[in-house]
């Protein structure tokens, strides 16, 4: 689990985790902010993916030929933050429906 966290990038995965804590805290204290934290987590996840893709394409551009396996691995790592942000968003929607 820590390996996936580190692959996604410590900065963006930490920001999304803070969003998850905000969702959980808002569930008990401020019901109106649950969706806001979920939306922010999803947005940070997408932003992290775009930065990861930009870095990957910059590295690919500097190397003339890249194998398909390396490209697929880079895309998998870049999408980690979006998946985590989407998970937090789904959790926020479920908690909003429950409350």
What one-character-per-residue DSSP string does the chain give? -HHHHHHT-HHHHHHHHHHHHHHHHHHHS-GGGHHHHHHHHHHHHHHHHHHHHHHHHHHHHHSS---HHHHHHHHHHHTHHHHHHHHHHHHHHHHHHH-
Q: Which one of 53-62, 71-80, 84-93 scores highest in mean pLDDT?
A: 84-93
pLDDT number for residue 82: 93
**pLDDT tens by residue, 2-61:** 888 888 888 999 999 999 999 999 998 877 789 999 999 999 999 999 998 888 888 888
pTM metric for this prediction: 0.87
């Amino acid at each position: 689990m820590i390996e996936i966290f580190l692959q996604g990038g410590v900065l963006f995965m930490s920001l999304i985790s803070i969003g998850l804590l905000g969702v959980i805290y808002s569930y008990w204290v401020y019901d109106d902010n649950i969706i806001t934290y979920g939306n922010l987590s999803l947005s940070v996840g997408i932003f992290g993916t775009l930065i990861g893709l930009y870095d990957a394409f910059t590295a690919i551009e500097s190397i003339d030929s890249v194998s398909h396996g390396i490209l697929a691995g880079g895309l998998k790592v870049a999408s980690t933050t979006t998946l985590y942000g989407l998970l937090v968003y789904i959790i926020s929607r479920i908690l909003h429906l429950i409350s």
